[in-house]
Structure 1
Amino acid sequence: MPHDPQRAGQGATDNVAFLPGVREADAQRAENVTLHALTRRGLSRGEVVDLLRRREIDPIVAQAEVERLERVGLIDDAALAATLVERLVERKKLGPAALRAELGRRRLDPATIEAALADGALDDEGALVAELVADRARRLGEVDRDTAERRLLSYLARKGHGGSIARDAVRSALDELGLERAPRQAFGAGRGGIAAGRADSGLSRRGAGSTPRLGGRLPGDGPARVAFE
């Protein structure tokens, strides 16, 4: 069987962990790493596992350290998720979609996230969205209603709010501001449209001495009215 230097080196590394005092030293290092990190902020189980992996702590030692931290209450994913939801709703007014994304980035599992979202922090999402829209609408500037709706719905989507709650809040806010939709021209009434083409062809068919009429009106009667929906 050919000699594989890489396999031989890996076996030697694995054997080192079982030497007297090596695993104990690794356990002490793991404890120092996790306690230092936890003094700065709360961590999820997944975040601690990732941290110990990056520090190249032996997997068996890392598992034991995670379990120890859970036993003493320094890792509590349910409590961390509830705290994060409350803080993100209060400070950033995030909605369900954005909260799921934020908590997922903190390596919390889906079941824990859903339990935190169902805990009541978003019971009055409608009022939260209305507050966001009212504040944002005042800063839109001079825009038509379609543009205002598009910008406000996009803003709410970035905050994690959507569906009928977002649409109703936007419409209500714009109604209160008295912002109306811009009128749209009827089909063919625009520049270069069918109506213009037909008028031009009618003029070309008449002789030079005939009196041109646009829509049954004389040129001196003033501009023709443009039809709106």
Structure 2
Amino acid sequence: ERRRNRRSIFINGRFALGVDETVIADLGLHVGQEISEEELGRVVRTELLVKARERALRLLEYRARSRAELARRLRLAGFAEDIIEEVLVRLSETGLVDDARFSQSWVESRSAGRSIGKTRIKWELRQKGIDADLVEEALSEIDEETEYKLAARAARAKWDKDRSPDVSVKRRRLASYLQRQGFGWDVIKKTVNQLAADDEDE
């Protein structure tokens, strides 16, 4: 029986379960066909794969996600590990899930949209389950000079807003701020020294 894009499976005249039309097509089933318990198991598994894939695609429509993020969300939705793994493999094969591309895009957007350093970006990517090697590869695009420019951009407004008459206090506050933003010590030192020197010249 049919309702929208769903079909109902009856066993011995009693409703057993509803499945997506694609499941019926994929398994080559037809109305009136008798199915064994083994075939019913395949129907159930295929239906779960369809549901898990649809859930993953809805998540990807909202924003790009890492493989681990999708796995975590599907797990929370109650899907079994083997179903999750198969869905993620298929999505990876079609390019819809690509941790290398995701990492590169994340680095570009985070460094352009907000002035944050490599340490913080690295932490964010690791939190999203990205492999350490992929993280390092993506971060290799940010050299020390680029990171210094990001730090300088973040530091200028912070420095100007600090009204403390004690330069040592301003330096300490700014250094702490830049550290929280994920910049390395060499970059922090260079940035703070430059701003302090600019103040002295004015």
TM-score band (shorter)? 0.7 to 0.9
Equivalent in the alignment of 1:133: 155
Q: Which one of 153, 169, 185 corresponds to residue 175 of structure 2?
A: 153
In the other structure, the counterpart of 1:38 is: 60
Distance in 2 between the 1:123 and 1:40 partners? 34
Number of the residue aligned with 2:31 = none
SS of aligned partner of 2:62: coil
- CA deviation vs aligned residue, 1:167-210 (integer Å, no higher than 9, x gap): 1211221121129xxxxxxxxxxxxxxxxxxxxxxxxxxxxxxx
| One-letter amino acid of the structure 1 residue matched with residue 77 of structure 2 | R
1:77-88 to 2 correspondence within 5 Å? 77-88=99-110
Which runs of no fewer than 5 residues in structure 1 stay unpaired? 1-14, 180-229
Supply the distance in 2 between the matched residues of 1:148 and 1:81 (Cα, whole angstroms): 35
| 1:59 alignment partner in structure 2 | 81
Residues 2-40 of structure 1 show CA distances to partners (whole Å, capped at 9, x for unaligned) of xxxxxxxxxxxxx99x72421111111111111111100
**1:79-98 equivalent positions in 2, closer than 5 A:** 79-98=101-120
**2:159–2:174 contact (8 Å) kept in structure 1:** yes
SS of corresponding position for 2:87: helix
Greater CA drift, 169-178 or 38-47: 169-178
Identity score, percent: 25
TM-score by length of 1: 0.67
CA contact (8 A) 2:144 2:187 kept: no
Query: Higher strand fraction: Structure 1 or Structure 2?
Result: 2
RMSD value over aligned CA atoms? 2.2
Out of 113-122 and 153-162, give the one that drifted further.
113-122
Paired amino acid for 1:39 = E
Q: When you count helix as a share of all residues, which structure comes out higher?
A: 2
User: Unpaired segments of 5 or more residues in structure 2?
Assistant: 1-36
Asked if the contact 2:107/2:121 (under 8 Å) is kept, the reply is yes
Q: What's 2:49 paired with?
A: 27
- 1:121 is displaced (CA, Å) by 6.9
Match of 2:98 among 76, 83, 105: 76
Residues 63-90 of structure 1: CA distance to partner in whole angstroms, max 9, x if unpaired? 1100000011100100110000011101
For residues 119 and 156 of structure 2, the distance between their equivalents in structure 1, rounded to whole angstroms, comes to: 21
Q: Distance in 1 between matches of 2:76 and 2:186?
A: 44
* Aligned positions of 1:1-229 closer than 5 A: 19-120=41-142, 123-178=145-200
Contact 1:26 1:58 in 2 (8 A): no
Greater CA drift, 145-154 or 118-127: 118-127
Which shows bigger deviation, 156-165 or 74-83? Answer: 156-165
Residues 121 and 66 (structure 1), Cα distance of their counterparts in 2 relative to 1, 3 Å cut: farther
TM-score (norm 2): 0.75
Separation of aligned partners in 2, 1:91 and 1:105:
19
Kindly indicate whether the alpha-carbon contact (under 8 Å) linking 1:78 and 1:112 is maintained by their aligned counterparts in 2.
yes
Q: Count the aligned residue pairs.
A: 165
Residue 138 of structure 1: SS of its match in structure 2?
helix
Structure 1 residues 119 and 127: alpha-carbon distance in aligned structure 2, compared to 1, 3 A threshold:
closer
Cα separation, 2, equivalents of 1:125 and 1:119: 10
Structure with larger Rg: 1
